[in-house]
Chains A and B, each alone.
Chain A
Amino acid sequence: MQRLLIAMIGLVLLTGAAAAATLEERVVEHRLANGLTLLLMERHQAPIVAVNLTYKVGGVHEHNGITGVAHLYEHMAFKGSRTIGVTDATQEKPVLEELDRLAEAITAEKARGTAADRTRLAALRKQFAETETKADGFVVPAELATLYQRHGGVGLNATTGKDLTRYFLSFPSNRLPLWAAVESDRMANGVLREFYKEKNVVLEERRQRTDNSPSGRLHEAFSAAAFQAHPYGLPVIGWPSDLDGLSKARTEAFFQTYYGPANAVLAIVGDINQKDVIALVEQTFGRIPARPPSPPVLTIEPPYAGERRVEVEYAAEPQILIGFHKPGADHPDDDVFDVIDSLLSEGRTSRLHKRLVQEKQLATSVSTFSDYPGAQYPNLFVIGATPRAPHTAAEIEQALYEELDRLKKEPVTPRELEKILNQVDAAQVRALRSNSGMASRLGYFQAINGDWRETFKQRDRIARVSPEDIRRVAAQYFTKSNRVVATLVKPAKQETESKP
């Protein structure tokens, strides 16, 4: 019986590895002379294609004073180029320049604080509003999105994170030339029009995701407490005052620095012919001149000396986040954390779910994140939980530490590890169900790990993690002096409703 079981496990492992090999063979990599990496996978299930354009730029490339610039640029990339989104770019240009001069004058005047000349400010604002109306006259609203939609594009969107900014959509595969023309144009010749209005849109996004969201507030304060030096501590959405003062010149300079083709990974999955697509991308993206390499992130978070705790007061039910500093994507311990991540919170049979949600019923939910808030640089292993009344965040914290201590003392069982591998195997098969999911995976691993093959090697790396690795990593990283804890607490005098 025992032997049979082992033989069966061997067979399952083989199937998983074999599946990854076949998938890997279906991916074609092509490097353009300007440095852009193109990844292609043919999948002919339906006459559709998914594209994912990932730039190695995000919040991690910001500093105080320009927080939010990566995300704001992502919004601006939908405003068009010198030919798209405008009636006449030549006539538009001086108007936009005048608008920028006025905006900078307003920022400078405001920066004088109480000494600011209010009459001058009012006059500048009036002029600004008039010039903005003039600039609006050149705008062809939403022309870029209109082109995509008219041709059946769906899921047009973009995201900005700590490490990456990603642009994606899906469309009927015979429209690929249209996409290549529009996309390469906007990535090379973007014009920051409607810039100042879009800041207001982003401020609304901030109000929605952060200011009026209990968890949004908690996460922002948690990251800020965890990283005192490294830019992972800065909010991707931006501090409101930074957004307000952010100049177009700084935004443009940010684009010039980080949006070079060598920083881009273009993943295309679907009903395509690889040769045709390579030719098409060469003709379009290939025209974009190479740029100097973008500067590296130099700051390293100094070693921790003592636990950091932060309380966020907000009129809402309690939540807790606990983080432990850990290395980034290039360190072997990162794989061990991936296993610990699954072990602790993947599914109903995971350790934390079983202990905290089912048995003790202290929490309604518990989750872990192994690359928080970004994956590229040294980051945090984070546990988040929602207490169930009348239980408190403190009780949860206690129970969590008991579970982490178990990891340090008792070796993880082979069955637990086997379950995790089975889940990784199945996830790799399921990943191919969607073109966009596969494109996203390929682009992500190429951008973060420097090699798309890592998406298929992930399984082998996880298979190599031993119970002893887990014990060692738990003992090394899950210590009091290496952790940061943030809790959401009600203000002393609770006011949930404003008075009429």
Chain B
Amino acid sequence: MNRVVAALFARVFFLTALLTAPPALAPTAAQPAPLGDPRTMIFDPVTITVPEVERVVLENGMIVYLLPDRELPLVTVSAMIRTGAIYEPADKVGLAGLTGIVMRTGGTARLTGDQVDEELEFLAANISMGIGAESGSASLDLLKKDLSQGLAIFADMLRAPAFESAKVEQAKRQALEAIRRRPDSPGGITAREFRKLLFGADHPLGRESTTDTVSRTTRDDLVAFHRQFFAPNSLILGVTGDFEKPAMLDALRKAFGDWQPQPVALPALPPVTASSGPGAGRSVNILRRDLSQTHLRIGHLSVKEDDPDYFALALLEDILGGNSFTSRLFRDVRSRQGLAYSVGSRIAPGNAGPGVFMLHALTKGPSTYQALSSMLDHMEHLRQEPVSTEELQLAKDAFLNSFVFSFADSGLIVGRLMGLEYHGLPKDFLQRFRDSVVRLTKEDLLRVARLHLHPDRVIILAVGKDNDFEKPLSTFGRITVLTLKPGG
């Protein structure tokens, strides 16, 4: 026993000396750890070598990023396409999503949809295709040896999808069933209703598909939507994995080179008028569901990604509820009060339209008022008092020391460059983010909190059983009771 203790002390002494950190002894009788106190450990800064990514523009306007990474015999080709559900007609909401799905399932000029699946799955190759709100995306991931076969299918799918009628019908039926099942997921209801409140139920960023809009959509609509947006000049491609650049460029030219460019018009997004401006006050919205747990969202529109205050606001949001375990919302609403398992905040900076700043939690019906009240207090508090020195330092350290994970693999590096180019942001955006985080002060955060956080005019949404709430939510603002429409 004595020998063990002596040996441990010897290690403590040796290792703390190595780490050049003071052997800060805890003021308790607890056994000292063999490496010294982890709170006082000091390490060299994390250095990152960012690999050079080549950007090539093909003759037909297609932009290609290339970053070879020879560790594994795999190749990944990903694409961003200038399109999105925000460009679909209002009476055919869901069209963009269906187009993406059937491009993947509905065959090409050379192969039927079923043949495509057979061929890809036999090679264990993956192709995905989808169209989201503000962009389209596609990816091909396969073993290097299968590249030419996979790339041919991938190019065909992007350039000349066949939109087989049976697959169109199948996708529509699936979409209709998904609409039928929307009421089963309280989280889904909450997310969609909140977007409607923020952007307006008719705005391209707020609207949702319905039984009507999906039923009305035809194969011809899918064909036309594809024709309108898919062109080489509206594509950004990123290639990573095991390849030689010249050979890859040859392969890409062979697959896409004779695809003719065409003008692609992206209509401007209508302005968002639904949300409250200054002086509008808070709105409290209740959607009654027979649940033992209330889904809460609190938020308002926020900055675009290119806003000079975005970086400061993002760090502020980390402190409020972004960082798990250590954020104010997690520590108070979850750990101290035990009111929630899921609680936090989020900032989604805008690109095509405005961004969103929001707080969210799930809490049992009888603690809805308490949770909501605490969350609003935290939001208000950020405007009243500067964050503490320790909080700011932790948020900065966490950001800067984990920065290396933004470069953890080649796919991340290339994917980011594609996204930045797509959204018209500078290619050194992340570096600027980092540099500005280093410089941020408590005063900066207080300034952006006062300028960009508006607890006095937030939209509040509570989905749950309001009979169970311990107090009515009317003290927070005027209550509107929402109803869920069948089929929408």
Contact = CB atoms under 8 A, between A and B. Distances in A.
Given A153-B402, A498-B288, A364 B177 contact: yes
Contacts of B293: 204, 207-208, 211-212
Contact of A347 (B34, B121, B363): B121
Given A46-B408, A154-B402, A154-B405, A194 B325 contact: no
Contacts of B143: 426, 429
A76 to B, nearest CB: 12
Given A89-B28, A189-B30, A212 B291 contact: yes
Interface in A182-228: 182, 184-185, 189, 194, 196-205, 207-208, 211-212, 214
A84 interface: yes
Interface stretch (B246-254, B330-338, B350-358): B330-338
A425 B408 contact: no
Contacts of A498: 288-290, 465-467
Contacts of A154: 402, 405
B180 A317 contact: yes
A150 B293 CA distance: 33
A82 B72 contact: no
A472 B48 CA distance: 55
Contacts of B114: 349, 358
B99 to A, nearest CB: 18
Given A136-B336, A181-B41, A498-B289, A142 B330 contact: yes
A152 B37 CA distance: 18
A81 B39 CA distance: 13
Given A175-B43, A201-B341, A315 B38 contact: no
Interface size, A (range): 35 or more
A284 interface: yes
B35 A496 contact: no
Given A48-B408, A145-B325, A177 B335 contact: no
B118 A349 contact: yes
Interface string B309-342: 0000000000000011110001100111111111
A386 to B, nearest CB: 8
B186 A212 contact: yes
A452 interface: no
A498 B291 CA distance: 9
A150 B398 contact: yes
A241 interface: no
B394 interface: yes
B290 A348 contact: no
Contacts of A429: 72-74, 143
Given A48-B405, A83-B33, A358-B170, A197 B338 contact: yes
Contacts of B224: none
Contacts of A204: 293, 338-342, 362-364
Contacts of A199: 338
Interface in B456-482: 465-467, 481
A449 interface: no
B325 A149 contact: yes
**From B46, B330, B400, residue with most partner A Cβ within 10 Å:** B46
A89 B30 contact: yes
A461 interface: no
B154 to A, nearest CB: 16
A147 interface: yes
A434 to B, nearest CB: 8
B255 interface: no
A406 interface: no
Interface in A326-348: 347-348
Contacts of B121: 347-349, 419, 423
A500 B26 CA distance: 56
A21 interface: no
A167 B388 CA distance: 30
Most A CB contacts (10 A, CB to CB) among B29, B403, B408 go to: B408
Contacts of A409: none
B177 A149 contact: no
A146 interface: yes
Contacts of B363: 204
B33 to A, nearest CB: 5
Nearest to A416: B122
Contacts of A423: 121, 124
B173 interface: yes
A389 B73 CA distance: 44
Contacts of B369: none
Given A82-B30, A136-B336, A149-B326, A422 B290 contact: no
B73 to A, nearest CB: 6
A198 B325 CA distance: 13
Interface string B77-107: 0000000000000000000000000000100
Given A46-B404, A204-B363, A388-B177, 6 more contacts: A147-B39, A151-B401, A152-B404, A205-B341, A208-B362, A429-B72
Interface of B: 8, 11, 15, 19, 26-31, 33-39, 41, 43-44, 46-48, 69, 71-74, 105, 114, 117-118, 121-125, 142-143, 170, 173-174, 177-178, 180-181, 183-184, 186, 288-293, 323-326, 330-331, 334-342, 362-364, 393-394, 397-398, 400-405, 407-409, 465-467, 481, 484
> 8 tightest A-B contacts by CB?
A152-B401, A145-B325, A200-B338, A426-B124, A197-B338, A205-B341, A204-B341, A207-B293
6 contacts: A47-B404, A48-B405, A83-B30, A156-B325, A204-B339, A204-B340
